[in-house]
Structure 1
């Protein structure tokens, strides 16, 4: 099978899977937090720990994936189909949680499975796309996460309104069913288009490149360290914002319908973000392009520091438009350009592990800030870490300009 344009059935179903992998399994937790608190109790600090547990699972999964692929170099399609199916089933299972520990175990499993699915779905889908269009394809896939946020916002009247105590359970069950359907759809189109055969041919080159030290490539200050550091701080900053934004709006007396509309607005803006960001990184594949989105995101999340809800709403729109999907998709595209083809899956897995580490630290720091200084400053604290991410992205862009990064010939 030859490579295809960015617009193909594999990319479409990969995007639908990202609705589940990012929007449903990861970020819906922040949307459902008020309803979960009413149902099972706990302070926001304690419930923030469950967010951390989710990302501990995510980190462990990313660390395990690279050696697993090395052990079974032809097993990516099989591992992916099992992982995506189990992820949908785990979302259904989490809907039946009745106490803190039980939900924590489900969040851990979901984090573990979503880490595998994030890397594998991207890797399989992008292998089927022409190199010049992989930024656009990455944007189309990542915007599935924005669609997931948009959809979860529509559930708001049934998940955070006190009159619907069990609404979040029904929502998670429906999301899990959608995840199972998306897993079967992705499996069908990859088999029908022969993507699996192409993938196996690509992976057959792995044996010739085992000497490549992926950690040395990623953590070398003269190569990709600054890009990885930017991804780490972005994970730290954005997860604070998405975990505590809805609780903050509820605490300000914003009705559940309007809070849901704000959340959906982030997702709707992110739909354009994915397209614009993908086109931008294809045309200007630079750390400076990434830094611009992160800097605007820093401005957006700072809107929560104002005492006017409208500033928070405007800031949320900015976050959705320029810096929710942009950093992951641009990091994905930059890695695709600047690491050897045979090392891409391992490099993406390890970079995602640093992203996950940031997401582990974020809810802990955010929870402490919320408990000590209140929800408003807790949410706004995410701007600090977005600023760090932007600085490191600038350093990476400067490094690219000096010609220090590795730039393999695109295959």
Structure 2
């Protein structure tokens, strides 16, 4: 069975899984913070620390994956299947939390499992897609995360309105059930492809044949260092904004419906961007393409500093449109283009670890800003890291151009 186009059953089910892996398991937390605070207590600084615990779990998961794959190179599908099912169950379990410590343990487990699932689902899906369309396929898969945000936002009247104290619990339980169903669908379509392609892949069972020193690829300034750095600072910047945007709107007295619509606007714009961004990186596979989206996203974050609801909402939609899904999908695609096939899962896992470290740092920095200067400043501080991320992406694009020019001279 040969490679497929970007739009196929595997990428479709992967996208549905990403509704849970990104939109539900990770980013719904920021949306549900006001409801969680009313129900089980805690300050926004303490609840922000639970966000950090989630990303500590995410970091641990990404660091565990490379040795796990090395130890069981033929069990990637089985590991992903188990991880995805457990993620759905952990979502359901978190809905029954009665205090912050208990919720923190669930958030750690969800972060750990979502990290494994993120890398494995992308790696398995990209193996099935023709190289020329892998950017578009990546966009379709990451689009699922935006769909998850859209659905989470639409639940706002039920999950963060004071009249529905337990609403966030029911929402997380339903999200977990959806995750189990999506994991089952993805397992079915990928097992069918494996059965059809097992004979053609029999010769690829030589793990020592193409051993690559991954660190030389990722940490060399002439290779991928600036791309990895950009991914780190993006993780810090976007998670600060997503953690404190809704609490800020609620503190302003914005009705739950309007706050939910702003959140859904990010998701709806991100769904559009997921497809367009994937095609853009296929056509212009450059750090400059990534830097453009991040720069506009930085401006979008600054919309919150105006204190005006219209400009805050416009900034949120701008982030969804050009710089929420764009950095992960473009980083995924650029890595796929510039690392050997056998090293891709390990490289993506390490890159995701840096992304996770940024997400781990973000809520801590944002929480300090909230404590010292209020929710508006805390949410807006994400623009600092987004701007640094854009600058590093631009430097990566410059290195790409120099390398391409040098290769042309050497070939002439």
Q: TM-score range, shorter-chain basis?
A: over 0.9
Distance change in 2, residues 1:151/1:405 (3 Å):
farther
Paired residues in the alignment total 406
Output the CA distance in 2 between the equivalents of 1:246 and 1:331: 27
Q: TM-score, normalised by structure 2?
A: 0.96
The alpha carbon displacement at 1:406 in A equals 12
Q: TM-score, normalised by structure 1?
A: 0.97
User: Could you tell me which residue of structure 1 aligns to residue 86 of structure 2?
Assistant: 86
The alpha carbon displacement at 1:38 in A equals 0.6
The alpha carbon displacement at 1:194 in A equals 2.8
Output the CA distance in 1 between the equivalents of 2:305 and 2:325: 23
Q: State whether residues 266 and 317 of structure 1, in contact with CA within 8 Å, keep that contact through their aligned partners in structure 2.
A: yes
- For the pair 1:68 / 2:68, whether they are aligned, the reply is yes
**Aligned pairs (5 A) from 1:273-352:** 273-352=273-352
Q: State whether residues 223 and 406 of structure 1, in contact with CA within 8 Å, keep that contact through their aligned partners in structure 2.
A: no
Output the CA distance in 2 between the equivalents of 1:390 and 1:89: 37
User: Could you tell me which residue of structure 2 aligns to residue 58 of structure 1?
Assistant: 58
Q: Which runs of 5+ in 1 are unaligned?
A: none
* Secondary structure, counterpart of 1:105 in structure 2: helix
Output the CA distance in 1 between the equivalents of 2:196 and 2:252: 51
Output the CA distance in 1 between the equivalents of 2:172 and 2:10: 25
**Structure 1 stretches of at least 4 aligned residues deviating more than 3 Å after TM superposition:** 195-203, 404-407
User: Could you tell me which residue of structure 2 aligns to residue 206 of structure 1?
Assistant: 207
User: Could you tell me which residue of structure 2 aligns to residue 23 of structure 1?
Assistant: 23
Output the CA distance in 1 between the equivalents of 2:197 and 2:116: 20
Output the CA distance in 1 between the equivalents of 2:88 and 2:96: 14
Output the CA distance in 1 between the equivalents of 2:251 and 2:118: 33
Distance change in 2, residues 1:251/1:121 (3 Å):
same
Output the CA distance in 2 between the equivalents of 1:196 and 1:37: 50
Distance change in 2, residues 1:201/1:125 (3 Å):
farther
Distance change in 2, residues 1:376/1:77 (3 Å):
same
Output the CA distance in 1 between the equivalents of 2:405 and 2:10: 31
Distance change in 2, residues 1:46/1:163 (3 Å):
same
Distance change in 2, residues 1:202/1:234 (3 Å):
farther
Distance change in 2, residues 1:195/1:80 (3 Å):
farther
The alpha carbon displacement at 1:195 in A equals 6.9
Of 267-276 and 190-199, more deviation after overlay is shown by: 190-199
The alpha carbon displacement at 1:215 in A equals 1.5
Q: State whether residues 7 and 137 of structure 1, in contact with CA within 8 Å, keep that contact through their aligned partners in structure 2.
A: yes
User: Could you tell me which residue of structure 1 aligns to residue 410 of structure 2?
Assistant: none
Output the CA distance in 2 between the equivalents of 1:405 and 1:194: 40
Name the Cα RMSD after superposition: 1.6
Output the CA distance in 1 between the equivalents of 2:344 and 2:67: 14
Q: Which runs of 5+ in 2 are unaligned?
A: 408-412
- For the pair 1:104 / 2:68, whether they are aligned, the reply is no
Output the CA distance in 1 between the equivalents of 2:253 and 2:208: 59
User: Could you tell me which residue of structure 2 aligns to residue 395 of structure 1?
Assistant: 395
